[in-house]
Structure 1
Amino acid sequence: MKIKKQLSLFDLAMIVVSLVIGMGIFRTPVNVAAKAGTEELFFGAWIAGGIVALCGALTFAEIGSRYPLTGAYYKIFSIGYHPAVAFSINCIGIVSSAASVAAVSLIGAEYICSVILPPGAADQAYRSGIAIGSLLVLYGVNLLGLKASSKTQNVLTIVKIVTVLVLICAVFFVPQAATPARTVQPVGSWQDFGRLLGLCLIAVSFSFAGYQATINFGGETKEAKRILPKAIIIGLLLIITLYLLINFAYVWVIGFEALGSAKSIAAILAGSIFGPKGYTVLSVLIFVSVLGYVNVNLLSNPRIMFAMGQEHALPAVFAQTNGKNNVMAVSLSVYTAMAVLIIFFAKTFDKILNYTIFLECISMASGAATIFMLRKAQAAADDSTFYKVSFYPVVPLLFILAYVYVAISIYGDDPAAALTGVAAFIGFGILYFIFQKLTRGKNAM
């Protein structure tokens, strides 16, 4: 069945913002400050991360405009690489995404539990129940169709942006935190600087990740070859601006020395503006922001599974849609079930961070590299029919090398997480060949 084109520039830009701004910016500045040791390196890491993300956005904008398809993030791998590689990369991406959704849902549940339950009553069972309940409500919304879920996403994204803007306003209402004498020695050699920058970029990369999934909506976007690049670039420029402003607010209110060990940094900012009621106000807003992150992943990831079903990498049932609303019901249901199951096994944020970003490094670097293959394959195509990234090949190469650098930094910081990621990649590749053998066996009968 033909997929309807329903998404506008505004819809897609809001999807970009929600894919990127999850809970990361309310937590990762603590990790970055702890690793950086100096205020200069802290802000330098965020600026560097923004530049890398912009290079990635421009690269994926061209890839998406060349192949404006539903589930394009899978299909670019199947075009550029062996199908087993495409299967492996997208499987680890889906699993890590579901793990992030589970972890973020639990964090959101912690915030809302502090508002609706008496002190000390919010045990793990309550948090898990609220997290799962929120996930199932949004699952129901997505079953109504893309129009209903995208409109819901627009509202949730606007609330998310308002939340960040409110926190940034702390700069105007709160005096600057006292700056104690520097207790951390300045960065020494260039090797030390490079090592610390790499460690900072792990958390920064987590905060900026997600925009590449926008190309999954190419087949459902009006005038996709024109709208898709604009939406990715506009959305990311907005995100970079918000991230730099809110990090400035964190340092202004909390102080850099205290930021590296602070807890609930967003709540501190809200309390500084609203007083005792600030935490309550912010808890509700962050919970809504979490719903936006969960919803956009329920929008995006089933489309990858849908594409894998079309390519017969997954059973054909994953490529089925509901005739009335074009809902990818099987893919949506399986992805939701994965996130619900992972909620019961979610680990600490720091562990999830390393595992998720290492898998993301594999996916992002290899995904961006397909631009070289696509340009070669479409050398005779009319350039006016799609967006072309400027300063090629410098921009995609800078992006790829940056993610290789982050992957090496993760291995140096947490070898187990890196090796687990490699093992998962190989394991899914083996599963692909097993699945293909079973499929051929059934067809031969």
Structure 2
Amino acid sequence: MPEKKQLSLFDLAMIVVSLVIGMGIFRTPVNVASKAQIPELFFLAWIVGGFVALCGALTYAEIGSRFPVTGGYYKIFSVCYHPSIAFAINCIIVVSNAASVAGVSLIGAEYLSKVILSADMQTAEYRIAIAAVSIIIFYLVNLLGLKTSSRTQNVLTVIKIVMVLTLICAVFFGEQTSSITPIFNTTTGLPATWSDYGKALGLCLIAVSFSFGGYQQTINFGGEVKEAKKVIPRSIIIGLGIIITLYMAINYAYVRVIGFEQLKTAESIAAILAGKIFGPAGFTVLSVLIFFSVLGYVNVNLLSNPRAMYAMGEEKALPSIFTKKTKKNEVMIVSLTVFTLISILTLFYAQTFDKILNYTIFLDSIGMAFSAAAIFYLRKTTAHLDKSTIYTMKFYPIMPIIFIAAYLFVTVSIYADDPNAATNGLIIFLGFVAIYFITKFFNNKKATNQ
């Protein structure tokens, strides 16, 4: 049965924004400022990150236009590379996204608990309960069908955009003055060289790329978009344009209001901006808004990730039961339920979220580089398509080469900063490759015996 085309340009653009703007922009600027040491390098890192994301957006826009299918982010690996690579990378992505949902929902629960619970009830158990209930609520929303969940996502994304715009307004309520002039310090104590600045930029881009990541999952909805060949590229470009604008503006607000030296070690940077605007009530207002932002992140991941699992089920990388849909609303019931369960289970291990993230960022960077490289294969295999019906990026192949080179630079920077995380990430990746071949061996053996 053909899939219903339910998503419009606005729907998909809002999904792009919610896939990218999570909790990262409310904490990663501290990491970037610490690594950058000077404001010039801080803003350069965000400019470079935005430009790289734009190159990636244009690349994925063309990939999605040439290959508009449900679970597209999985299938581009399956079509362009060996199925074992597709299975391993997507397992990593699904598990890390489930961990992100658990961790982010827990952070939202921590904010909300300080508003709705008394001091003696603000324990880990209550926060986990609030986080679990949040995930379950949006699991139920997604059971109502794609259109209902996408409309819910539109509302939550608009709230998220309004929150960021509100925080940016803190620049009109005074600025931080500091007599300290930021200095770039080297490990040798000698004046900084271009190599020192390059290494610092690489470390900055780890957090920046995390803050900009997520938009590539938009191509998972390719089979459910009205006029996909036009809408997918437009939605990615519009969504990312909104994101880059908001990110640059709020980072300017952080530096202007908090002060660059203070930003390096500040906590709850968004709360500081809210306090400038709303006074003592700022934390309460911000807590509620951040909780809504978290709900948007939870919902969009419950929208996107089951589609990758569905695609893996279609190609027998996962059991075929993962392709099961409800008759009424065509909900990917098994994939959605399994992803939700993984997210809830990892809530009980949320204290290890940062460690999980360190391992998976390394692999995510490799996955981004390999998935973007699929454009070279697709350009050849879909050369027969009518150019008037698909999106074709300008400045090809410069754009995808810049994007791929940037993410390879990030992987090298991660390895240099934390070689254990990179090594363990590769071990996890090879483990999933092994699982693929073991599963395939037993499936072939079972088919032979029948």
TM-score, with structure 1 as normaliser:
0.98
Supply the distance in 2 between the matched residues of 1:226 and 1:105 (Cα, whole angstroms).
34
Aligned-residue offset at 1:123: 1.5
> Secondary structure of 2:105's match?
helix
Partner of 1:421: 425
> Secondary structure of 1:70's match?
coil
Cα distance per residue 1:281-340 (max 9 Å; x no partner): 010000000000010000000000001111111100001111110000000000011111
Partner of 1:124: 124
- The percentage of counterpart residues that share the same residue type is 64
Supply the distance in 1 between the matched residues of 2:179 and 2:156 (Cα, whole angstroms).
39
> Secondary structure of 2:255's match?
helix
Partner of 1:91: 91
> Aligned-residue CA RMSD in angstroms?
1.2
Supply the distance in 2 between the matched residues of 1:34 and 1:126 (Cα, whole angstroms).
33
Letter in 1 for 2:123: D
Partner of 2:189: none
For structure 1, the 5+ residue unaligned runs are none
Supply the distance in 2 between the matched residues of 1:246 and 1:350 (Cα, whole angstroms).
24
**Does the Cα contact within 8 Å between 1:135 and 1:294 map onto a contact in 2?**
yes
Supply the distance in 2 between the matched residues of 1:58 and 1:354 (Cα, whole angstroms).
27
Aligned-residue offset at 1:346: 1.9
Supply the distance in 1 between the matched residues of 2:353 and 2:168 (Cα, whole angstroms).
24
Partner of 1:52: 52
1:178 and 2:177 aligned:
yes
1:383 and 2:382 aligned:
no
Aligned-residue offset at 1:170: 0.4
Cα distance per residue 1:109-164 (max 9 Å; x no partner): 11101101123531111111111110011001001110110010000000000000
Supply the distance in 2 between the matched residues of 1:239 and 1:352 (Cα, whole angstroms).
26
Aligned-residue offset at 1:425: 1.2
Supply the distance in 2 between the matched residues of 1:24 and 1:349 (Cα, whole angstroms).
14
Aligned-residue offset at 1:241: 0.2
**Does the Cα contact within 8 Å between 2:27 and 2:268 map onto a contact in 1?**
yes
**Does the Cα contact within 8 Å between 2:180 and 2:261 map onto a contact in 1?**
no
1:70 and 2:74 aligned:
no
**Structure 1 residues 208 and 183: CA distance shift in structure 2, 3 A:** closer
Supply the distance in 2 between the matched residues of 1:349 and 1:409 (Cα, whole angstroms).
21
When structure 1 is superposed on structure 2, of 341-350 and 404-413 the one drifting more is 341-350
1:363 and 2:367 aligned:
yes
Partner of 1:204: 208
Supply the distance in 1 between the matched residues of 2:148 and 2:206 (Cα, whole angstroms).
35
Supply the distance in 1 between the matched residues of 2:351 and 2:373 (Cα, whole angstroms).
32
> Secondary structure of 1:222's match?
coil
**Does the Cα contact within 8 Å between 1:361 and 1:403 map onto a contact in 2?**
yes
Partner of 1:293: 297
Supply the distance in 2 between the matched residues of 1:203 and 1:311 (Cα, whole angstroms).
34
**Does the Cα contact within 8 Å between 1:96 and 1:359 map onto a contact in 2?**
no
Letter in 2 for 1:435: T
**Does the Cα contact within 8 Å between 1:100 and 1:352 map onto a contact in 2?**
no
1:219 and 2:218 aligned:
no
When structure 1 is superposed on structure 2, of 431-440 and 155-164 the one drifting more is 431-440
Letter in 2 for 1:237: G
Supply the distance in 2 between the matched residues of 1:349 and 1:166 (Cα, whole angstroms).
29
Aligned-residue offset at 1:363: 1.2
Letter in 1 for 2:386: D
1:406 and 2:405 aligned:
no
Supply the distance in 2 between the matched residues of 1:266 and 1:353 (Cα, whole angstroms).
22
Aligned-residue offset at 1:416: 1.4
**Structure 1 residues 27 and 362: CA distance shift in structure 2, 3 A:** same
Supply the distance in 1 between the matched residues of 2:35 and 2:184 (Cα, whole angstroms).
13
- Runs of 4+ more than 6 Å apart: none
Letter in 1 for 2:201: L
Partner of 2:4: 4
Counting only pairs closer than 5 Å after superposition, residues 23-422 of structure 1 correspond to structure 2 as: 23-119=23-119, 121-172=121-172, 174-182=173-181, 184-185=183-184, 188-347=192-351, 350-422=354-426
**Does the Cα contact within 8 Å between 2:57 and 2:236 map onto a contact in 1?**
yes
Supply the distance in 2 between the matched residues of 1:423 and 1:349 (Cα, whole angstroms).
18
Supply the distance in 1 between the matched residues of 2:39 and 2:97 (Cα, whole angstroms).
31
